[in-house]
Amino acid sequence: MISWIKGEIISSWLQNQKLFLLISCNGVGYEIQTLNSVETDSIEKIITLWIEHIRREDSEFLFGFIQKEERDFFRDLLKVRGIGPQIGMSLLNKYSVDEVKTSLIKKNKDLISSVPGIGNKMTERIFLELKNKITVVEEGSNKKGNYNDNEEITFIFKDIDIALRSLEYPIKDIKNTINLIRSDFSKKKSTELNEYKINFENILKEAISILENNDSKFG
From CA 120, how far away is CA 198, in angstroms rounded? 33
Give the pLDDT confidence score for residue 147 in this predicted structure.
Answer: 47
CATH number of 4-65: 2.40.50.140
Lowest mean pLDDT among 96-110, 134-148, 175-189: 134-148
What is the model's pLDDT at position 216? 45
Instruction: List CB contacts of 122: < 8 A, sequence separation 6 or more.
Output: 80, 82, 83, 87, 113
In this prediction, residue 118 carries a pLDDT of 92
Binned at pLDDT 50, 70 and 90, residue 197 comes out as low
Q: Is the pLDDT of residue 213 over 70?
A: yes
Q: What is the pLDDT of residue 164?
A: 87
Residues 6 or more apart whose CB falls under 8 angstroms from that of 156 comprise: 68, 198, 199, 200, 203
> Residue 79, class by beta-carbon neighbours within 10 Å (0-12 exposed, 13-18 middle, 19+ buried)?
exposed
Percent of the chain at pLDDT > 70 equals 80
Q: What value does the mean pLDDT take over residues 3-7? A: 91
Q: Are 148 and 186 in contact (CB under 8 A)?
A: yes
| Between 190 and 93, residue with greater pLDDT | 93
pLDDT for res 169: 85
The span from the CA of 46 to the CA of 137, in Å, is 32
Mind listing the pLDDT tens digit for each residue in 41-50? 766 688 999 9
> pLDDT confidence of 58, banded at 50, 70, 90?
confident
Q: What mean pLDDT do residues 140-163 have?
A: 62
Local confidence band at 60 (pLDDT 50, 70, 90 cut-offs)? very high
Q: Are 173 and 214 in contact (CB under 8 A)?
A: yes
Residue 196, Cβ density class (10 Å: 0-12 exposed, 13-18 middle, ≥19 buried): middle
Which of 177, 94, 105 is CA-nearest to residue 135? Answer: 105
114-149 pLDDT, tens digit per residue, is 998 898 889 999 988 887 676 544 343 344 344 444
Domain 69-130 has what CATH class? mainly alpha
Whether 191 shows a pLDDT value over 70: the answer reads no
pLDDT band at 161 (very low <50, low <70, confident <90, very high): confident
**From CA 131, how far away is CA 35, in angstroms rounded?**
23
* Sequence spans of domains, the chain: 4-65, 69-130, 151-213
Residue-level pLDDT at 92: 95
Does this model's pTM top 0.85?
no
Q: What is the 3-state secondary structure (H, E, C) of 5-62?
A: EEEEEEEEEEECCEEEEEEEECCEEEEEEECCCCCCCCCCCEEEEEEEEEECCCCEEE
